[in-house]
Chain A
Amino acid sequence: EVQLVESGGGLVQPGRSLRLSCTGSGFTFGDYAMTWVRQAPGKGLEWVGFIRSKTYGGTTAYAASVQGRFTISRDDSKSIAYLQMDSLKTEDTAEYYCTRDFVGGVNRAAYDVWGQGTLVTVSS
């Protein structure tokens, strides 16, 4: 079964850091670009950032709202993508989903596999 499982969410104070993990199974993880999408409580879906496959350089891109604070990386030997979140703000509070790029273009895709999500709460 093709699956993505996120972990690492929790309660964190503003200004602190948190690292989320996304573990894939049931498919060749390294062949796919991976994207993080978030949903704040009562709000819509927001693209956070993505990472290309190593075959295409593993390049990354980020939403303006997280640029310079969030970093996405991947370890294909473990089938894991990471979202390192630094200098967290209260407005980063959201459910964070890891997704697999399916069709479209580079850094602009529809997503066919989603993890269950992990909740990040930024509060003092």
Chain B
Amino acid sequence: DIVMTQSPDSLTVSLGERATINCKSSQSVLSSSNNKNFLAWYQKKPGQPPKLLIYWASTRESGVPDRFSGSGSGTDFTLTISSLQAEDVALYYCQQYYSAPVTFGPGTRVDIK
């Protein structure tokens, strides 16, 4: 199975400041057949299910604010919240869907400073 790791475990950011979350996979999730990275990002708030934010490493899901962006390729990926809002306080998970079984990172908690 592909192992996903995330850093940091948690971070606190001031309102309006940038938050950056890193995700690393134990093997490349870049497909040579379609040149796409099989990497997604989810946001999870207490009492709510995960919400898909980003797929194909950098494609924003419909309705997701453009302050959320994803980047990276191969084994190293980043989720950036360009200007943190109060409603962004949550856990964030990366997920690889390159190979079965899909696996998730352990999560990064984002709080307001």
Q: Which of B49-82 contact A (CB under 8 A)?
A: 49-52, 55-56, 61
Determine, out of A11-19, A51-59, A71-79, A113-121, the stretch whose residues face the partner at the interface. A113-121
A35, B51: Cα distance in complex, Å: 15
Is there an interface contact between A108 and B99, defined as CB atoms closer than 8 Å?
Answer: yes
Residues of chain B within 8 A (CB-CB) of A47 are 101-104
Report the interface size for chain A: residues with CB under 8 A from the other chain: 21
Q: Which of B28-55 contact A (CB under 8 A)?
A: 38, 40, 42, 48-52, 55
A47, B52: Cα distance in complex, Å: 15
A117, B101: Cα distance in complex, Å: 21
Interface status of A46 (Cβ within 8 A of chain B): yes
Select A97's contact among B50, B56, B61, beta carbons within 8 Å. B50
Least CB separation from A109: chain B residue: B97
A53, B49: Cα distance in complex, Å: 23
Is there an interface contact between B55 and A110, defined as CB atoms closer than 8 Å?
Answer: yes
Residues of chain A within 8 A (CB-CB) of B61 are 112
A117, B51: Cα distance in complex, Å: 13
A92, B97: Cα distance in complex, Å: 23
Which 5 residue pairs are nearest across A and B when measured between Cβ atoms? Answer: A114-B49, A110-B40, A104-B97, A45-B104, A110-B55
Please report B residues at the A interface, Cβ cutoff 8 Å.
38, 40, 42, 48-52, 55-56, 61, 93, 95, 97-107
